[in-house]
Amino acid sequence: MSMMERVLELPDQLRWGLDLEPQTSKPASSVLLVGMGGSGMAARVGKLVADSGRVQTAVYQGYGLPAWVAESKPHVIAVSHSGNTEETLSSVERATDLGLPLSVVAAGGRLGDIAADVGAPFIEVPGGMMPRAALGYQSAAVLRLLEGAGAIADPRPALEEAADIVSVLLGSGDGAGFRLGADLAEGLAGRIAVIYAPAGVGSLAASRWKAQINENAKMPAYANEMPELNHNEIEGWGTLRELTQRAIATVFLTDPAAHERVRLRMRLTVDLLDGMLPSAGSVVAQGRSSLARLFSLIAVGDVASVVLAEQAGIDPTPIPVLEAFKQKLAGP
Ligand code: F6R
């Protein structure tokens, strides 16, 4: 399947989560999600949804685990599509050393074996695709594990809402969201993308936009969130104007459910940057649940990243630099 076919498959991936068997584990008093790259994005989706609940949830992306886990003993949810990512395996090793409750999302690999060895709840996602192309499967699996640990309510209504909205947006490559993604790609062509969004749903979507442009289009992209960027980044756009006007294009992701002051900040930031930085355009989140609003923004960005690649004659699927780097790290 091509990368664009994977993008169009997103609603089906989210719906796949509806039929998963319940994976009940001991109710968690806190949850720590671990995962890198595309899989780390699914971990962050889990935190975003859990943040509206009562169980404290954090994401950790690195080796080992933070020191505080020895005291608070969170339920660790590890996400790795390949099941072989060294940072995630290192976190899982630490979790098992400390005897922390563990759940796993993977398409197999070493992580799948560990889950079987220690009898951890394990959701096996379909394999045979790039990790970033499996975000719908991974996110749905993470949410069902969070539900099983008592950290969130039944996520199926939100999964259905997200799938329905994305399905309308994308159509079969002819929906309004698909066309918007293609238009935004036109505005971003040959430029460095700077994606601005409100904290929360918007900024998580902006990170996905950034990573998808990096990995699919093999182009630089940066993301930042409001209100934080109003405390530093906007001061930096005035001086190198000739360079930035030539090299950059902005995309604004907006969320009607964001804090009213953040929405005002967004409008003021758009006005401030008008005439200073070229803008490719904006995307407005749709839906009631945070999950639906998130995926409504992600779907448009996924399209834009693949169209950007296609326009530049780049194959969106392989990631030769990341692979070569991993091999260097593994040593001779
Ligand atoms: C590749 C991709 C990467 C991987 C990351 C971690 O498509 O998106 O960012 O997700 O290198 O690998 P996994 O997901 O196998 O743990």
pLDDT the model gives residue 23: 84
Taking only the tens place, the pLDDT of each residue in 24-54 is: 888 999 999 999 999 999 999 999 999 999 9
Closest C-alpha to ligand 1, atom 11: 37
**Contact at 8 Å (CB) between 248 and 191?**
yes
Q: Determine the angle formed by the axes of helices 135-148 and 37-50, rounding to 10 degrees.
A: 40
Taking only the tens place, the pLDDT of each residue in 205-228 is: 999 999 999 999 999 999 999 999
- Nearest-angstrom CA–CA distance, 231 and 199: 14
The stretches in the chain having pLDDT less than 50 are none
pLDDT the model gives residue 81: 98
Ligand 1 pocket, CB under 6 A: 36-39, 80-82, 85, 88, 130-132, 215, 319
For 75, phi then psi, to 5°, come to -75, 125
- Nearest-angstrom CA–CA distance, 237 and 272: 10
Atom of ligand 1 nearest to the CA of 85: 16
pLDDT the model gives residue 24: 84
Atom of ligand 1 nearest to the CA of 322: 11
pLDDT the model gives residue 22: 77
Closest C-alpha to ligand 1, atom 9: 37
pLDDT the model gives residue 247: 98
pLDDT the model gives residue 332: 84
- Nearest-angstrom CA–CA distance, 301 and 216: 11
